[in-house]
Structures are given as C-alpha cells and as structure tokens.
Amino acid sequence: MEQIRRRTQVLTNHLHHLLQHQESEASPLSPNSCLNYSPPDLNNSLFSFNPTDMRIYLDYHNLPDRDWLYGLITQSRLFNPNQRGQKLFVSPDYNQSMEQQREMTMKRISYLLDKGVFQGWLTDRNPDSELRKFALLEAIGMYDHSLSIKLGVHFFLWGGAIQFFGTKRHHDKWLRDTENYAIKGCFAMTELGHGSNVRGIETVTTYDSNTGEFVINTPCESAQKYWIGGAAKHATHTIVFSQLSINGENQGVHAFIAQIRDADGNICPNVRIADCGHKIGLNGVDNGRIWFDNVRIPRENLLNSVADVSLDGKYLSAIKDPDQRFAAFMAPLTSGRVTIAASAIYTSKISLAIAIRYSLTRRAFSVTPNGPEVLLLDYPSHQRRLLPLLAKTYAMSFAGNDLKKIYVKRTLESSKVIHVLSSAFKATFTWHNMRTLQECREACGGQGLKTENRVGHLKSEYDVQSTFEGDNNVLMQQVSKALLAEYIAAKKRNKPFKGLGLEHMNNPCPVIPSQLTSSTLRCSKFQTDAFCLRERDLLNRFAAEVSQFQAQGESKEYAFILSYQLAEDLGRAFAEKEILQTFIQAEATVPAGSLKDLLALLRSLYALICLEEDAAFLRYGYLSMDNAAAVRKEGTELCSELRPHALALVTSFGVPDAFLSPIAFNWIDANAWSSVQH
C-alpha cells in the first residue's frame, strides 16, 4: 500500500513538473500525454568527437558506396517503407507468407541489379572491387539477411565456385551471365546425411566415355541435396558436389555444373526438387532439396582447376594426394566465412544502436521517493549489460576489417592464416552477435518483442550464422588443430615459431604483476601479456594432453577428440588475442585526441571483459583472486566513464536511422493514437 502511494506521488510530481515546464514554454501540451520524449540527440553538441570521423575507422572502406546503397533502399517502395510517427523506417514485411517473402527478395535483387550494384562482382578481380563488393553486401545484409544470403549464394558460392574451381572456359561461359542474372545459380554441397563433413557426401558421378558425359546420381535418400539456397524456386543452375567414380575407383569430392531449370522455370528432366519449407528465419530464401536421377552433363561441366577427366575417361590431377586435393578444393570457400563474420558485426551494431538509444530515453523507477524516474542507461547494471557488448563490437569491427584486408590481398602463403582467422572470427563474431541480440532484446523489455523493433526478430534471422558455412564448434576445433600442428612442427624442427600469431611464444613468458593498479589494467602491454600468457599456456597444455593420450595408445585423431575442452579454450584464447591486437593496431593509426582516448577506453573494456568472462584465467592461475577482483572493479569504472559517450559511440556505427526502429527514436509519437488511425 505504501508502495502504491509512493508510486502515485512520483507520477503526480512528474506530471506536475512537466506541466509547469510546458506552461513556461507556452506551447500546447496534448491533454492525454503524460511523458515527454526527450531526444538524446539534442546533446549532440556535447559529443567529444565527431561520429562521422569515428565511422571512418569502423566502416573502414567504401563509405560512399555504403551510403549509396542505403539510399537505394530508402528511396524505393520495394523495400517496404513504413512511416512511424514522423520517421521513416525500412524493413521487410515478415508478416508476408514464405512465398511472398521469396518473391520480394527476387524483386529487390532485380532492382539492385538495375541500379548497377553488382557491376564487377565477378568480372572485376582486384582488391578494390572486392572490398566494394564486401561493403555493398554488408549494407544489404543490414536491411535483410535473406536478401544478402540469396545474393551470397548466387555470387559467392555459385559464382565463387566457377571462379575458383573452374578454368577459363567456365569463366568465359558463366561469369558475365551470372553477374547479369541471365542465369541464377545455386550451390548443392550439403546433403541430408552430411553437412560440415563434406568428404562424406554420397552423391556419385560417373563418366560415360561413349558420349563424353558425366552422369550424376543420388543413390539414396540421405544423399539428397539439402538446404540448397535458391533451389526451391528460382535457381536455373547449380554447382553439384559429388564423389567422382572413374572406372570404379573413387577419386573423392569434385564439383560439377548442372542445369536444374529451363529459362521458363520448369524443372529439368531427371531432376527432382522439393522445398525445405518454412524456417525460424530467412524465409526470403528458397532453400530446397534436390535429387539427381542419372542426370547427364557435358564433360566440360567438371570444374577442373584441380583435376580433370580426359575425353577417353582418364582421371588427371596434378595433386596426387586426395587429402591435399580436397584441401585445395575447399580453400576458396573462406570468402563465405569472411562475409559472415563481417555481417554478424553489422547486426550487432544495429541492435546495440537501438537498445542504447532506447536506454537513453526510457526511464524506470525512482531512487528517491519524489524523484524523477531514472534513465535506463544511468543504472550501472544496465551499463554493465550493454557497454561491454559495445566494446566487443568495436573490437570485432577492427578485427573484421583486418581479416578483409588480408583476404583481398591473399596469396598462396597467406591461405593458411586466412583459413584459421576466418574460422576463428566467423565463430566468435556470430556467437557474439547472438548474445548481443538476446541482451539487447531483453534490455528493450517488451518493446524488444515487436518485430518492428528489429532486435528480437533479428535473433531468428541470424541464428543460422552459427552453423552454416562451417559449424562454429567445428571451426573452432580447426583453429586449435592448426595451432597444435604449428606447435608440433616448430618443436620438431626446433625452430622459433613463425606464423599464426604465435611469435610471442618465442619470448620469455610474460609475468602478471601481483598488484594490478587501474593504470596497469588499462595498459595495452599488460592486456597483451595476459592474452598471450593464456594462449601460450593453453597451447602447451593442449599439446601435452594430446601427446599423453597418444602415449596411452590413442590415435592422434581420437586424442584430439578427447582433449576437446582445452581445444575450445585455446580456440577462444587465440581469437580474443587476435582481436585485441587488431584493436591496438587500429588505435595506433588514430591521431592523438578525444577519439583516440575513447578508443583506448573501449579497448580496455574489451580486454577486461574477456579477462573476466573466461574462467581459464582463474582456473589456471594467470590471474590471482585479487587480480580478478581488480579486473572486475575496473570494468565497472570503465562502463561509467563510457556512459556519457554512449550515444556518440553508437551514432559512429553509421547505421541509417531508417534501418533502426521506432523505439530508437520518438517511441511515444510512434505509438500515439494518431498513428493507429491511419
């Protein structure tokens, strides 16, 4: 009862305060409004740095191209513009049926095609145009994941397979037609029975030397191609991954081109296609299943960069070892992981921008009996929920940029580091994104449930990222495996470590001071030391454990499987250290000033949160209990120092207002009765 009386009084005071305020402004207060929306942007002038300058470090490349793309989306009716209050938002209508969503995706692609968005996506091959392609795809993904995935399948998987697995004859025949959408491609790799383990697929292709054709077959139900994006409705052609059997001898997995529909959309003879059906998200993509019943394709349709079959049916390959052959095949698929990693970060940016903007305008509860209600972000607990995720998102932006930079300048020598980094970042960023989306959705309370507010809905749209293009857990195992291989090789040759960022293992083991002061904790040297110490120790432990299992008679493979816990810890240690280092490098490029100071705060928060969250630091004693307590305390302090800059920091993400949602702006006006009436 006392509580109710208190609440009533608080509200009365609040109203009273408002009314007085309004009178002095002499502007009419609509009679039924009780709370004023106070835009956080009004304090623009208090920004200690210009967000457009910060955005250059975050987006890093092709900013005008991104802005162009955003504009193409906001200026067209096709992108479902929706006026809420005085603001315009664009977002697909997820209330449409699966079929309608798929058709809209295709219409949007035609529109973007018409504007020249895809010019050079396959026919220009230089780092600049590759970066532009990444930037545009990222911007598209911020509007709708289905749209970017549908494009990703066509350009990066189908187009990429032709570029990388094919040779000149394939490039000449297919690339331009693909870029112009004269044909629509898909990529049939995964099967009902095999996903991440591509080598186990069961589709079989034989060669008929009488006709000079390959014959593709789906021998059993588990061999049906599954989850093939584009297959259910639109694709006319597909890459088929299949075992190649020559004269009864299996030569391993190879890739072929097969037509599955004619130009009018009729399914080709001997091909059966079914729909994968409604999904928890990504319903704008027509995932399908394909069966091949002795489908005949010309000999030239084998993508023959690695191996070929002669007219008379002889198997020819420069790479004799089937393991190596397979690795050579799979290497180009890293581009998918690079784009997924980048896209995950942009999704986190959207959700953080929405949740933080909301937390700067929404109040709840008072701390004093008659006081005004407190702004959500003024609660230290709310800061602690959102700001570390903001710091991580900054850190991962820099890491993602670094990965893209290495990727577009790739050489044969860098392919291993690209494989390891893209695996580590793809898994780390997509997990981070899912966690961020969940936290932001909860931070928005009930508003987070509304599809129009995006954060909640994005969870189901982006969930798929943690398992497609390589299951996150499998990818992280590959990271640890690669580190272990590097370790064993270095020990065997008795040479210093070189590559995969393990050079720090050649130095004396870093020592963590027993007393951690605030200034030590914020020092990049200490942070790097702590992260390197963890990686070094975990790698030593992992190697020791694997070899111990081997000494007990287990195979290398099984020993690795048994050591999965250390493998997971090591993968994480590697990823977090690499991210920290790219952050420090990015910071070094910024001239002295408030922007650089802010980045230092964010970097420290990133580092300290990692120290706090990974139990390995305490489990293996890299930090004492006192140290761990100091880390935690400093994290809270950093959050409160970042609090005044929160708006500027999310504004720096450069997400267009139209890509955010009503709760990020005047949510009272957006929900007013007047907006219901029309």
Partner 1 sequence: MAPPPLNSTIPVTDQVLVEEKLSARILALNRPRQLNALSFQMISRLLELFVAYEEDSNVKLIIVKGKGRAFCAGGDVAAVVQDINEGNWRLGANFFWKEYILNYIMATYRKPQVSILNGIVMGGGAGASIHGRFRVATENSVFAMPETALGLFPDVGASYFLSRLPGFFGEYVGLMGTRLDGAEMLACGLATHFVPSEKLSLLEEALCKIDSSDPAIISAVIDEYSQQPYMKEKSAYHRLNVIDRCFSRRTVEEIISALEREALNKKDDWISATIQSLKGASPTSLKISLRSIRQGRLQGVGQCLVREYRMVCHVMQGKVSKDFFEGCRAILLDKDKNPKWEPSKLELVSDSMVDSYFSVVDDEGWEDLKLPARSSLPVYAIAKL
In this chain, which of 11, 35, 68, 628 binds partner 1, going by CB under 8 A? 68
- DSSP single-letter state for residue 92: -
Nearest 5°: the CA angle 443, 446, 451 is 100
Distances in Å between the alpha carbon of 297 and those of 159, 169, 292, 423?
19, 15, 11, 34
Among the residue ranges 18-26, 157-165, 462-470, 605-613, the one whose residues contact partner 1 (CB under 8 A): 18-26
Give Cβ neighbours of residue 116 (< 8 Å, ≥ 6 apart): none
Contacts 24+ apart (CB under 8 A), 245-250: 245/204, 245/205, 245/206, 246/206, 246/207, 246/309, 246/313, 246/314, 246/315, 247/313, 249/315
Could you tell me the smallest distance in angstroms from the CB atom of residue 118 to partner 1?
11
Is 82 among the residues that bind partner 1 (CB under 8 A)?
no
Is 372 among the residues that bind partner 1 (CB under 8 A)?
no
Is 592 among the residues that bind partner 1 (CB under 8 A)?
no
Helix H, strand E, coil C: the string for 366-401 is ECCCCCCEEEHHHCHHHHHHHHHHHHHHHHHHHHHH
In this chain, which of 31, 116, 248, 446 binds partner 1, going by CB under 8 A? 116
Name the residue nearer to partner 1 (CB basis): 458 or 648.
648
Number of residues that bind partner 1 (CB under 8 A): 40
Is 269 among the residues that bind partner 1 (CB under 8 A)?
no
In this chain, which of 7, 41, 180, 435 binds partner 1, going by CB under 8 A? 41
Is 589 among the residues that bind partner 1 (CB under 8 A)?
no
Could you tell me the smallest distance in angstroms from the CB atom of residue 67 to partner 1?
5
Is 72 among the residues that bind partner 1 (CB under 8 A)?
yes
Is 31 among the residues that bind partner 1 (CB under 8 A)?
no
Is 181 among the residues that bind partner 1 (CB under 8 A)?
no
- Number of other CB atoms surrounding residue 233 within 10 Å: 19
Length of the chain: 678
Name the residue nearer to partner 1 (CB basis): 115 or 495.
115
Is 221 among the residues that bind partner 1 (CB under 8 A)?
no
Contact 218, 224 (CB under 8 A): yes
Name the residue nearer to partner 1 (CB basis): 114 or 613.
114
Contact 108, 154 (CB under 8 A): no
Could you tell me the smallest distance in angstroms from the CB atom of residue 45 to partner 1?
5
Half-sphere exposure of 564 (CA within 13 A, CB side): 6
Is 124 among the residues that bind partner 1 (CB under 8 A)?
no
Give the separation between CA 569 and CA 560, rounded to whole angstroms: 13
Name the residue nearer to partner 1 (CB basis): 517 or 594.
594
Give 368: exposed, middle or buried? Use CB within 10 Å, 0-12, 13-18, 19+: exposed
- DSSP single-letter state for residue 28: P
In this chain, which of 1, 2, 3, 26 binds partner 1, going by CB under 8 A? 26
Could you tell me the smallest distance in angstroms from the CB atom of residue 672 to partner 1?
9
In this chain, which of 13, 35, 61, 65 binds partner 1, going by CB under 8 A? 65
Give the separation between CA 649 and CA 643, rounded to whole angstroms: 10
Is 665 among the residues that bind partner 1 (CB under 8 A)?
yes
Could you tell me the smallest distance in angstroms from the CB atom of residue 104 to partner 1?
19
Is 613 among the residues that bind partner 1 (CB under 8 A)?
no
Name the residue nearer to partner 1 (CB basis): 83 or 565.
83
Could you tell me the smallest distance in angstroms from the CB atom of residue 349 to partner 1?
14
Is 277 among the residues that bind partner 1 (CB under 8 A)?
no
**Kind plus residue range of the DSSP H or E element containing 259:** strand 249-259
Contact 287, 298 (CB under 8 A): no
Could you tell me the smallest distance in angstroms from the CB atom of residue 185 to partner 1?
24
Is 85 among the residues that bind partner 1 (CB under 8 A)?
yes
In this chain, which of 11, 82, 87, 410 binds partner 1, going by CB under 8 A? 87
Name the residue nearer to partner 1 (CB basis): 86 or 310.
86
In this chain, which of 75, 110, 180, 324 binds partner 1, going by CB under 8 A? 75
Pick from 436, 206, 416: which is nearest to 309 by CA?
A: 206
Give the separation between CA 135 and CA 342, rounded to whole angstroms: 9
Pick from 453, 213, 222, 205: which is nearest to 351 by CA?
A: 453
- DSSP single-letter state for residue 452: G
Q: Mapping DSSP to helix (H, G, I), strand (E, B) and coil, where does residue 288 land?
A: strand
Is 27 among the residues that bind partner 1 (CB under 8 A)?
yes
Contact 254, 325 (CB under 8 A): no
Contact 109, 179 (CB under 8 A): no
Could you tell me the smallest distance in angstroms from the CB atom of residue 108 to partner 1?
14
Name the residue nearer to partner 1 (CB basis): 52 or 197.
52
Contacts 24+ apart (CB under 8 A), 590-593: 590/57, 593/49
Among the residue ranges 49-57, 90-98, 201-209, 421-429, the one whose residues contact partner 1 (CB under 8 A): 49-57
Name the residue nearer to partner 1 (CB basis): 67 or 637.
67
In this chain, which of 107, 115, 409, 435 binds partner 1, going by CB under 8 A? 115
Is 657 among the residues that bind partner 1 (CB under 8 A)?
yes
Is 666 among the residues that bind partner 1 (CB under 8 A)?
yes
Give the separation between CA 499 and CA 406, rounded to whole angstroms: 14
Is 50 among the residues that bind partner 1 (CB under 8 A)?
yes
Amino acid at 210: N
Could you tell me the smallest distance in angstroms from the CB atom of residue 87 to partner 1?
5
Among the residue ranges 80-88, 219-227, 474-482, 614-622, the one whose residues contact partner 1 (CB under 8 A): 80-88
Q: Mapping DSSP to helix (H, G, I), strand (E, B) and coil, where does residue 360 land?
A: coil
Q: Mapping DSSP to helix (H, G, I), strand (E, B) and coil, where does residue 215 land?
A: strand
Residue pointed to by tokens 């720090």: 504
In this chain, which of 9, 34, 53, 506 binds partner 1, going by CB under 8 A? 53
In this chain, which of 86, 126, 555, 594 binds partner 1, going by CB under 8 A? 86
Chain positions contacting partner 1, by CB under 8 A: 21-22, 25-28, 37, 39, 41-45, 50-53, 64-65, 67-68, 70-72, 74-76, 85-87, 114-116, 654, 656-658, 665-666, 669
